[in-house]
A and B are shown apart, each in its own frame.
Chain A
Amino acid sequence: QVHLVQSGAEVKKPGASVKVACTASGYTFTNYGITWVRQAPGQGLEWVGWISTYNNNTTYAQKFQGRVTMTVDTSTSTAYMDLGSLRSDDTAVYYCAREVIASSTLDYWGQGTLVTLSS
């Protein structure tokens, strides 16, 4: 069965960076993309960006351009999201999700990683 397991919660200071890992299992990693979505406390879902696990192409939401980097390690079926210059409004649960390439649907999600900004 398909599983996406994310790294544990993080507490960061403003200005720091955080790297969240998402390890996939139960399917051929390079046949699907990985999308990252975040959700601030009590708020809705926000699309952060996408990475092709096949050729490492990325697309980021404009508001994160310059601050986010998405990478994959196909040898371990792990995707990473690195977000820098953290601000208080970056406090959120960050989810990775498997993206079906043909339809861009997010059919399996990781459990989420809470990133908390605290000075």
Chain B
Amino acid sequence: DIQMTQSPSSLSASVGDRVTITCRASQTISIYLNWYQQKPGKVPKLLIYDASSLQSGVPSRFSGSGSGTDFTLTISSLQPEDFAIYYCQQTYSPPHTFGQGTKVEIK
């Protein structure tokens, strides 16, 4: 199975900050990498697919980049509604494993 490792596991940031979360795959996965946001008690929400494509309706402050084994999710200017847990997921080969999550908290 492909292992997905996110860093950091958690971070504290202020509204307006630029935030970057990284995701590393244990083997190359081309661009088959998705990002999801999950707020407490809520269902995960797709933000980015195929490493850098913004899902319809997702604010443009979210962006993704990377290919191969190293990927990043960037929030250009953190908003109050962005405090959540973020997961990466590879869809290169089944099982489509998720990273362990990165919790973004208010500083």
Q: Is A107 positioned at the interface, with any CB of B under 8 Å from its CB?
A: yes
Q: Is A44 positioned at the interface, with any CB of B under 8 Å from its CB?
A: yes
The answer to whether A105 and B34 touch across the interface, beta carbons within 8 angstroms, is yes
The answer to whether B43 and A95 touch across the interface, beta carbons within 8 angstroms, is yes
Q: Is B94 positioned at the interface, with any CB of A under 8 Å from its CB?
A: yes
Most chain B CB within 10 A, of A62, A104, A110, A112, is at A104
Residues from chain A with a CB closer than 8 A to the CB of B95 are 47, 49, 59, 61-62
Instruction: Give the interface SS of chain A, mostly helix, strand, loop or mixed.
Output: strand
Number of A-B contacts (CB under 8 A): 64
Give chain B's interface residue range (CB within 8 Å of chain A).
20 to 34
The answer to whether A61 and B94 touch across the interface, beta carbons within 8 angstroms, is yes
24 contacts between A and B (CB under 8 A): A35-B96, A37-B44, A44-B100, A45-B36, A45-B44, A45-B89, A45-B98, A45-B101, A47-B95, A47-B96, A47-B97, A49-B95, A50-B94, A59-B94, A61-B1, A62-B95, A97-B44, A103-B50, A105-B46, A105-B55, A106-B44, A107-B55, A109-B44, A109-B45
